[in-house]
Structure 1
Amino acid sequence: MPDETPRIGPKAAEDEIPLRPRGRSRGLAMRGVVPNAITAAAMCAGLTGIRFAIGGMWKEAVLAVVLAGVLDGIDGRMARLLKAQSRFGAELDSLADSLSFGTAPALILFLWSLGDLTRLGWFAALAFAIAGALRLARFNAQIDVKEQPHKSAGFLTGIPAPVGAGLAFLPVYLWLATGEPLFRDPRLVAPWTAFVGFLMISNLATLSWGRMRPRSDVRLAVIAIVGLVFAALLLEPWWTLSAICLGYLATMPWSIARYARIKRQRAAAARPVPEPFDAATRDLH
């Protein structure tokens, strides 16, 4: 008897006909369209950044990828708000992230600087794009995994793809802010691009913004700081983005050290407790 289980995921070959589940399809509710439309908009923004880079419009290219990152942060929250989470949305989001935060930044950096380094520059761009795809593939593979030590402790494994794209553009931010040719030197940009790609696929414990819980006595200060950062982005966007990147990098040693402490505490709690010494038992022996 042939297997009639509906297949989830890509087809094995282009000419394979996927099996359809029985019953009439009810279609996709409008509340499910909204978050997926935001994801599609994020993907279009990231890919449009490549079009700007081809025309030498570097500011617009970077801002297009930044806009894709903002939209990427909205679509998941919108899906949870509307209770419209779906496997389709998760797959679409991963594909969009791979294009917007892996392929697009790699090509923009190659057109901006890495192309002057010929083969090595292209390898650095490839390393970043592949790292983005591998990170997202690892994330998809672990969606249904219950035991995730980093996640259960409130940390991420490696840096997220949108953060990786933002960090990879750090030389561009500094170049736009200062006009200094040094920041466009491919001998500087290439190792930096490859290093950020490594951070994306690494097993380092990194900060999870969703798990941060500011104390009640500092919440007003946090709100004020966020407002000031937003104003700074409007007035001095490139210096502000550079400061945000450096601030995030500064949190990495703290998050690594904190997770190491949590890991030691878990290991200590998992050790078997030695049985208490019994004098009566000793006398029997």
Structure 2
Amino acid sequence: MQYDETPPEMPRRRFGPIPVRMLVPNVITLLAICAGLTAIRLSTEGRMELAVAAIVFAAVLDGIDGRVARMIKGQSKFGAELDSLADFVNFGVAPGLILYFWQLHDLNNVGWIAAMVFAISGGLRLARFNATMDDPNKPAFAANFFTGVPAPAGAITVLLPVYMAFLGAPTPPAVLTALYTLLIAFLMVSRLPVFSGKTVKMRVAPEMVLPLFVSVVLFIALLIGYPWHILSACSVLYLLSLPLGWRSYRDHQRAAAAQESPSPSSSPAPAGAKPTLVVPETAAKDDRPNRLN
């Protein structure tokens, strides 16, 4: 009787040491989730201004975490999945509940359906983004465009009636708010090409660095001092820019189609055809020099 003297294979460790740079973007994403959940709580307590401010803060953190991950090379599949879940909570569920507790509850079930459709549209939009992120059939210019309004922009834009109410404007009827909510939800799941600032590589001239810093600081100061004015203006300008994104996408599409289609002059000659000698016009004439006799 023989025994196998081969020692049993040691179990492999499933997780190895994780660099700190991989954790920093995830911590920012978790802070964004905390902001979104806090916004839901504040809306249930009737503190709408703080709830909207928490959504804006979550949107700022959402714009930072991806750039920080690319800057310190801390991208990971775990971080991408966590970011999608955070976006669904912060920019799908939280804005829908804020609108419901603010005014849509006056419509009872109809208002709840509008809020629920917006939240579901945010989830569908994020799922489509993840599914088509690595699509090899996408043209090169399509990387500069989103398909549909992105979730953070949809969350900021859908709260436009709330901003206007904070400014002292007459509160719109609940039916109009519900229709506006459904419109933004439709734009999120639509196929509308929307400008994307993530993939556009921009360079700043050295003489424009300081003016750019001043402009950023000025914008942040205005956002802090006049938040509802700035958010209202940004939401309106963003909605007005949507047709420009669609037009730019169509122009790129036509240019790409024109480059792919063969020109008539480059079409191959039919089989069996004899080459035709083209005689220049000057050669057909008498090339003897003109002399005065």
Displacement after TM superposition at 1:258 (Å): 1.1
Amino acid in structure 2 at the alignment position of 1:178: G
**2: CA distance, partners of 1:123 / 1:35:** 34
Deviation at 1:214, TM superposition (A): 6.8
CA-CA distance at 1:220 after TM superposition: 6.2
Alignment match of 1:194 (pick from 177, 182, 185)? 182
Q: Which residues in structure 2 correspond to 1:53-132 (within 5 Å)?
A: 53-132=43-122
Amino acid paired to 1:213: M
Query: Which residue, 164, 185, 194 being the options, matches 2:154?
Result: 164
Residues 1:209 and 2:203 are matched in the alignment: no
Alignment partner of 1:272: what SS?
A: coil
Change (3 A) 1:212 1:119: farther
1:38 and 1:193 map into 2 onto residues whose CA distance is 28
Query: C-alpha root-mean-square deviation of aligned residues, in Å?
Result: 2.4
In 1, Cα distance between equivalents of 2:81 and 2:95: 21
Q: What's the CA shift for 1:232?
A: 1.6
Cα gap change, 1:215 to 1:38, in 2 (>3 Å):
closer
One-letter identity of the residue aligned with 2:193: A
Q: TM-score, normalized by length of structure 1?
A: 0.84
Give the match for residue 281 of structure 2: none
Give 3-state SS (helix, strand or coil) of 2:108's partner: helix
Distance 1:206 1:221 in 2: 28
Of residues 113, 124, 128, the one that matches 1:138 is 128
Q: Aligned to 1:49, which of 26, 39, 55? A: 39
The alpha-carbon deviation at position 84 of structure 1 amounts to 1.3
**Contact 1:206/1:256 (<8 A) preserved:** yes
Comparing 211-220 with 124-133, which one deviates more in the overlay? Answer: 211-220
| Aligned mates of 1:232, 1:159 — CA distance in 2 | 25
Structure 2 match to 1:269: 259
SS state of the match for residue 209, structure 1?
coil
Match of 1:251 among 223, 230, 241: 241
For residue 189 of structure 1, report the CA deviation from its aligned partner: 0.8
Q: CA deviation at 1:148?
A: 2.5
User: What is the percentage of aligned positions where both structures have the same residue?
Assistant: 45
Mapped partners of 2:82, 2:143: distance in 1: 27
| Ranges in structure 2 where 5+ consecutive residues have no aligned partner | 1-10, 278-293
CA contact (8 A) 2:141 2:252 kept: no
List alignment gaps of at least 5 residues for structure 1.
Answer: 1-20
Give the TM-score, by structure 2 length.
0.82
Residues 192 and 246, structure 2, Cα contact 8 Å, conserved in 1:
yes
CA deviation string 1:151-171 (max 9, x = no partner): 635111111101100001010
**Whole-Å Cα distance in 1 between the matches of residues 130 and 74 of structure 2?**
18
Shift of 1:76: 0.9
Alpha-carbon distance in structure 1 between the residues aligned to 2:236 and 2:140? 23
| Matched-pair contact (CA < 8 Å) for 1:150–1:205 | no
Kindly name which structure, 1 or 2, has the bigger radius of gyration based on alpha carbons: 2
**Is the Cα–Cα contact under 8 Å of residues 150 and 157 in structure 1 kept in the other structure?**
no
Which whole-Å deviations, capped at 9, do the CAs of 1:39-83 have from their partners, x for residues lacking one? 011011011101000010000000011111011111111111221
Which stretch of the first structure deviates more once superposed, 150-159 or 90-99?
150-159
CA change 1:223–1:247 in 2 (3 A) is: farther
Find the counterpart in structure 2 of residue 6 from structure 1.
Answer: none
Query: Match for 1:181: what amino acid?
Result: T
**Residue among 14, 17, 20 paired with 1:30:** 20
Provide the rounded CA distance (Å) in 1 between the counterparts of 2:144 and 2:84. Answer: 21
Q: Is the Cα–Cα contact under 8 Å of residues 144 and 197 in structure 2 kept in the other structure?
A: no
How far is the alpha carbon of 1:226 from its aligned partner?
Answer: 3.3
